Structure 1
């Protein structure tokens, strides 16, 4: 940790520059930049990158998610705080020795956060959770491997289920699918930080925002264990169609939401019979 001296770049000067660039939480961001920079020169460079519009997490090189810090490389989808609600819902369904798959994993933060306490915390037992993650974006895969390796998981590069080991079919207890759900025509309405600096493949959900979800649910029943669960995030207005898609593909849907985090999660369960 390096505290920049006033002669190099004082806190007040950083706050002023960030505020002028439109950063709403300029004071908090300035403190994070100062505490993360290893040298005064690096601090100056980090401030410049933030001022020109790079997401704070890409400038820092990490994002805080579900009480932990995870690496987030430039161009990789930044895990949103609202998605912590999805992890909480999955945690309530997790069992000792479960197989977890994190599709469209991005940085791998969701799957890693879900299994971290089970595999490394004080309550970790003798049946660790197995974690497998996959993403089509090579940059995301490189980033995810660092985060997922920490909890003993494995990351694969490829399209949805395609790169996963076939031995997982019928064994998955929790399937996280943080699929893109922004309709194509609404991509240009996203904040610049997402639209310009995150991979489009992590944002664009097709004409109605549910194209990738349809592909996930179509195969989910083959990968889930009896009684296994698929969980994904969606917007409130997409819920009726998302629920219908889940039901059409043989899963039993239910909806959970959090007003505090403005998050909506759909859970599809494979019948046990």
Structure 2
């Protein structure tokens, strides 16, 4: 390790970066590839800027996904939601399932699901939507190359009406942190990511309720809604799904510390 690299590691470690050696390597590579001064990248990282914003990407579900400032950084635990969605997609009778990635952020979930199924020779018709302009721009960078449209607006509002009643898989990584808990989140999330991507209202389920309220109309018969939640929110979430005519269940991953709530619309008779 060179003296310069050692100095970068020392600065990052002093700033509290747990994986200082890995971050130093990534920042050094980013500086070389982009021409940005390494000292400037290190200074921004030391000040608290998320590593993913400085690199311009994050690894998610085995993919390099573009991210940018003011865009929610996909969490590794959410890979479990993608895996659950892939399992459900494999059971659908339709040849090309219609999938919507709602509250899409960078579009990582839709991209990962499409890539996973494409590796098996399966194709999906994918669309995505987010209310934040920065997220929409970033999602288009990730999803336009695979032919997916990305819409800007509040929840279902910007989606083409022809999707109504035809969505087979609805990925909705809604914000689910209770408002009063935002202040206790790590600074990288609390101070840099858009609050709209974090704040789920008093109990963390405000946006979830809005999604569920419209989901039965937008889902195809037998279609599935998948939402990440905390374990304590599951009973309330299942109740909301039931009240709206969806069959609810929970899936958990101990390995990823992930909890997903799944609501299924009754199949057509």
TM > 0.5 fold call? yes
* Pairs within 5 Å for 1:220-235: 220-235=215-230
Are 1:198 and 2:193 counterparts? yes
User: In the alignment, which residue of structure 1 is the partner of 2:27?
Assistant: 33
* Pairs within 5 Å for 1:152-167: 152-167=147-162
| d(CA) in 2 for partners of 1:239, 1:12 | 46
Shift of 1:33: 1.2
User: In the alignment, which residue of structure 2 is the partner of 1:105?
Assistant: 104
| d(CA) in 2 for partners of 1:89, 1:42 | 41
Q: 1:10 aligns with which of 4, 9, 13?
A: 4
Are 1:268 and 2:263 counterparts? yes
**TM-score normalised by structure 2 residue count:** 0.94
* Pairs within 5 Å for 1:68-217: 68-95=63-90, 96-119=95-118, 121=119, 123-124=120-121, 128-217=123-212
> Do the aligned partners of residues 73 and 40 (structure 1) sit closer, same or farther apart at CA in structure 2, a change above 3 Å counting?
closer
Secondary structure of residue in 2 paired with 1:208: coil
Q: Deviations over 1:104-124 (max 9, x none)?
A: 0000001111002334x3x43
Secondary structure of residue in 1 paired with 2:176: coil
Shift of 1:93: 1.0
Shift of 1:45: 1.7
Are 1:52 and 2:51 counterparts? no
Q: Which runs of 5+ in 1 are unaligned?
A: none
Secondary structure of residue in 1 paired with 2:88: coil
Over the aligned positions, Cα root-mean-square deviation in angstroms equals: 1.4
Q: Number of paired residues?
A: 263
Shift of 1:49: 1.1
Q: 1:238 aligns with which of 227, 233, 242?
A: 233
Query: Do 1:134 and 1:164's aligned partners in 2 also have CA atoms closer than 8 Å?
Result: yes
Q: Segments of 4+ in structure 1 off by > 6 A? A: none
Are 1:22 and 2:19 counterparts? no
Query: Do 1:145 and 1:154's aligned partners in 2 also have CA atoms closer than 8 Å?
Result: yes
Shift of 1:59: 1.0
Secondary structure of residue in 1 paired with 2:168: strand
